[in-house]
Amino acid sequence: MGPAAEVRVLTTPQELFAAAAEEIVRLANDAVTDHGRFTIALSGGSTPKSLYNLLATNARATLPWDRVYFFWSDERHVPPTDPDSNYRMAHEAMLSKVPVPPGNIYRMPSENPDAAAAAAAYEASLRKFFQVKPGEFPRFDLILLGLGPDGHTASLFPGTNGLQEKSRLVIANRVEQLKTDRLSFTYPLINAAREIAFLVSGMDKATVLRSVLQENASGEQYPAKLVQPRDGKSVWFLDRAAASELSQPK
């Protein structure tokens, strides 16, 4: 792991989500004070749903919602109304319950049957929003990520072409193991962030987590290993079950 990785083990999933929510509120208020806005990319899957619920309740009064800009670090190739949609999950768990201006929400245009065109369109909207020139990478204040049992993160799965991408920000990544295309941030975009936060909960993630954090396996095998911020930090929020196979630092 890069020098910047911090591992925080919380006893229960509830404490994990509370710690992550606290971190988001702190980063958001610092970012708004420093540069007037907070840009966050949300992760999908099942793990972050409890965090989004918590932000919609406990942080309803403490997050500067009108200055928070929401993006997604990956998306399934389905319309936003689909039960598998990461956008839909975040909308139902949080965005529909908080005073965020609709114009601050930048979802991936995943209803486009042409996944490559959807990825290119989202890349164009990121370049416009962050006003970056060709060859430059937008710098998110925070990117949320999860960890799949196979070591994937965002939609960067083992053995997929997306792992090699060096210049684009967003790709349509063919995931043969799921027989589908996924829309995903690339490593260059992810690793340009100020902070990257992984949320990993549950015993079923313990073995892959040990491989990612404490074994010399390749990034090809465990794509989450290649998340190493160039000039920022990554924080792993774990619950005790997920951390149960990690050996204590000597």
Residues in contact with ligand 6PG by the rule CB under 6 A:
43-47, 74, 76, 86, 146-148, 152-155
Task: Fill in the amino acid letter for 225.
Answer: K
Q: Within 10 A of 218 (CB to CB), how many other CB atoms are there?
A: 11
- Give the nearer residue to ligand 6PG in terms of CB position, either 13 or 148: 148
CA distance 155 to 162: 8
- Give the nearer residue to ligand 6PG in terms of CB position, either 67 or 213: 213
Q: Which two tokens stand for residue 107?
A: 């979802």
Tell me the closest approach of the beta carbon of residue 29 to ligand 6PG, in angstroms: 26
Q: Which two tokens stand for residue 153?
A: 């993160």
Calculate Rg over the CA atoms of the chain: 17
Tell me the closest approach of the beta carbon of residue 152 to ligand 6PG, in angstroms: 6
- Give the nearer residue to ligand 6PG in terms of CB position, either 67 or 155: 155
Tell me the closest approach of the beta carbon of residue 170 to ligand 6PG, in angstroms: 13
Q: Within 10 A of 222 (CB to CB), how many other CB atoms are there?
A: 22
Strands 142-145 and 38-42, bridge-based pairing: parallel
Residue 127 half-sphere exposure, CB side, CA atoms within 13 Å? 14
Tell me the closest approach of the beta carbon of residue 211 to ligand 6PG, in angstroms: 15
- Give the nearer residue to ligand 6PG in terms of CB position, either 47 or 112: 47
Geometric angle at alpha carbon 199, from 63 and 194, rounded to 5°: 60
Tell me the closest approach of the beta carbon of residue 33 to ligand 6PG, in angstroms: 30
Are the C-beta atoms of 88 and 82 separated by less than 8 Å?
yes
Select the residue whose beta carbon is closest to ligand 6PG and give its number. Answer: 146
- Give the nearer residue to ligand 6PG in terms of CB position, either 33 or 46: 46
